[in-house]
């Protein structure tokens, strides 16, 4: 739609339908919004919007409601996202800054987003594959066993035990730990190729015997795919407060939300959208159970998205408010994990 006035009419229809849960008529638009035209002109604009597939009349003599295409046009035309209140921003900062570890941060973030949106919130754990190293600890745990503790910049902690071909030389382990943290901290999986050669040039024979197995287990751990998982909150609230038209399809939605592989695939696809905040509306969500929902998501991570956070709710929702909440929690997550 290239006509600004008709886009204003569409925007008014979406806002009223979200607020009232009732089909919107031309008289209501004329009374509630300063559109600057007569009711007759509004009716003509609504007819044009209907011909374009952006609104539809659910019943004879009823008002109009937005279609999936109408919601998409509305979201694409958003000039600005509603800012969170000062109280909401303080609540986000206070709750997340009190977290004690990564599990606590993720758990608090998902519950907070669900409370802000009154919808289902999903937070993806930071991916090891995309995370940078913060520290590597090497701990002898027996004559020929070495515990490798990997701490990422996002706070994830992974432990692996190595069985060595020779007895552990604790002095060599200490020297390797020192050099390994000097050359590998801040690197991601894609950057580790040169670490072996770099360490081999700097270390003696005893340390070089440890370099290959330690760097190999480091790379294998960061390359894992099996660790990808989500935390979900708000399903009970959504089921309890869902509008009547959405409640009729809540069963397939809840079933889809239980399948983490479905959500992970969807978030991965949304990461490729190239938008700061991606929105999938209705049948843009290819999984059958989610065709009556809209999903809003964005990435989080300091300068490099390591995972995504999002909200799943009905087609009829406060898009500016949901986008603002998802974006705000993601920003706080980024700040907390980077600290």
pLDDT (tens digit per residue) in 191-203: 777 777 778 778 8
**Average pLDDT for residues 243-249, to the nearest whole number?**
69
275 plus 328 within the same structural domain: yes
pLDDT-derived band at 297 (thresholds 50, 70, 90) equals very high
Dihedral over alpha carbons 207, 213, 217, 218 (to 10 degrees): 30
98 plus 51 within the same structural domain: no
Name the nearest CA neighbour of 293 among 274, 279, 309.
279
pLDDT-derived band at 259 (thresholds 50, 70, 90) equals confident
Domain that holds residue 70: 4-76
**Average pLDDT for residues 304-324, to the nearest whole number?**
91
At which of 58, 76, 94 does a domain end? Answer: 76
264 plus 295 within the same structural domain: yes
At which of 189, 222, 255 does a domain end? Answer: 222
Which CATH number goes with the domain that contains 16? 1.10.10.10
pLDDT at residue 190 is higher than 90: no
105 plus 236 within the same structural domain: yes
Structurally, how many domains does the chain consist of?
Answer: 3
121 plus 138 within the same structural domain: no
236 plus 191 within the same structural domain: no
Name the nearest CA neighbour of 113 among 277, 311, 260.
311
> Would you say residue 81 lies in a domain?
no
> Would you say residue 188 lies in a domain?
yes
At which of 76, 99, 114 does a domain end? Answer: 76
**Average pLDDT for residues 265-280, to the nearest whole number?**
88
pLDDT at residue 131 is higher than 80: no
pLDDT at residue 226 is higher than 70: no
Which CATH number goes with the domain that contains 144? 3.30.390.60
Q: Where do the DSSP E strands lie in 13-132? A: 55-56, 65-66, 120-124
> Would you say residue 16 lies in a domain?
yes
Torsional class of 85: left (φ above 0), alpha (ψ -120 to 50), beta (otherwise): beta
Q: Rounded to an integer, what distance in angstroms lies between the CA atom of residue 339 and that of residue 334?
A: 9
Task: Decide if 199 contacts 215 (C-beta within 8 A).
Answer: yes
114 plus 232 within the same structural domain: yes
Task: Decide if 156 contacts 337 (C-beta within 8 A).
Answer: no
> Would you say residue 282 lies in a domain?
yes
Q: Rounded to an integer, what distance in angstroms lies between the CA atom of residue 228 and that of residue 330?
A: 18
Which CATH number goes with the domain that contains 253? 3.30.450.40
Q: Rounded to an integer, what distance in angstroms lies between the CA atom of residue 234 and that of residue 313?
A: 10
> Would you say residue 206 lies in a domain?
yes
> Would you say residue 264 lies in a domain?
yes
pLDDT digits (tens, 9 = 90+) for 47-98: 999 999 999 998 877 789 999 999 999 999 886 777 788 888 888 888 888 8
In degrees and rounded to multiples of 5, residue 150 shows phi and psi of -110, 120
Q: What's residue 1's pLDDT?
A: 45
Name the nearest CA neighbour of 296 among 11, 8, 128, 82.
82
3-state secondary structure of 300: strand
Task: Decide if 311 contacts 296 (C-beta within 8 A).
Answer: yes
238 plus 117 within the same structural domain: yes
In degrees and rounded to multiples of 5, residue 275 shows phi and psi of -90, 150
> Would you say residue 245 lies in a domain?
yes
265 plus 326 within the same structural domain: yes
Task: Decide if 301 contacts 337 (C-beta within 8 A).
Answer: yes
Q: Rounded to an integer, what distance in angstroms lies between the CA atom of residue 9 and that of residue 5?
A: 6
> Would you say residue 27 lies in a domain?
yes
33 plus 180 within the same structural domain: no
Task: Decide if 120 contacts 302 (C-beta within 8 A).
Answer: no
Q: Where do the DSSP E strands lie in 219-306? A: 230-233, 278-281, 293-300
Q: What's residue 199's pLDDT?
A: 80
Task: Decide if 226 contacts 86 (C-beta within 8 A).
Answer: no
pLDDT at residue 2 is higher than 60: no
212 plus 168 within the same structural domain: yes
| pTM, entire model | 0.79
**Average pLDDT for residues 107-128, to the nearest whole number?**
90
104 plus 137 within the same structural domain: no
More confident residue, 122 or 3: 122
Torsional class of 120: left (φ above 0), alpha (ψ -120 to 50), beta (otherwise): beta
């Amino acid at each position: 739609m290239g006509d600004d006035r008709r886009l204003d009419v569409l925007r008014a229809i979406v806002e009223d339908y979200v607020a009232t849960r009732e089909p919107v008529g031309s008289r209501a638009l004329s009374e509630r919004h300063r559109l600057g035209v007569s009711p007759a002109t509004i009716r003509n604009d609504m007819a044009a919007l209907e011909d374009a597939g952006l609104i539809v009349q659910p019943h004879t003599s009823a008002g109009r409601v937005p279609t999936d295409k109408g919601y998409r046009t509305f979201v694409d035309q958003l000039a600005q996202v509603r800012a969170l209140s000062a109280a909401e921003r303080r609540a986000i900062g206070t709750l997340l800054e009190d977290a004690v570890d990564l599990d606590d941060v993720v758990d608090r973030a998902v519950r907070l987003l669900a409370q802000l949106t009154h919808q289902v919130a999903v937070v993806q754990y930071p991916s090891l594959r995309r995370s940078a190293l913060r520290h590597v600890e090497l701990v002898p745990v027996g004559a020929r066993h070495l515990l490798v503790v990997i701490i990422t910049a996002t706070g994830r902690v992974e432990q692996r035990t190595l069985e060595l071909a020779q007895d552990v030389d604790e002095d060599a382990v200490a020297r390797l730990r020192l050099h390994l943290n000097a050359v590998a901290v801040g690197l991601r999986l894609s950057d580790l190729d040169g670490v072996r050669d770099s360490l081999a040039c700097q270390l003696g024979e005893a340390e070089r015997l440890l370099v290959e197995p330690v760097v190999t287990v480091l790379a294998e751990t960061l390359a894992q795919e099996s660790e990808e998982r989500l935390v979900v909150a708000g399903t009970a609230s959504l089921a309890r407060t869902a509008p009547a038209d959405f409640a009729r399809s809540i069963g397939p939605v809840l079933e889809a939300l239980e399948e983490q592989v479905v959500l992970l695939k969807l978030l991965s696809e949304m990461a490729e959208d190239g938008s700061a905040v991606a929105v999938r509306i209705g049948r843009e969500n290819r999984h059958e159970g989610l065709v009556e929902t809209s999903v809003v998501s964005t990435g989080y991570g300091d300068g490099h998205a390591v995972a995504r956070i999002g909200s799943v709710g009905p087609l009829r929702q406060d898009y500016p408010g949901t986008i603002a909440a998802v974006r705000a929690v993601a920003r706080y997550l980024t700040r907390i994990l980077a600290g």
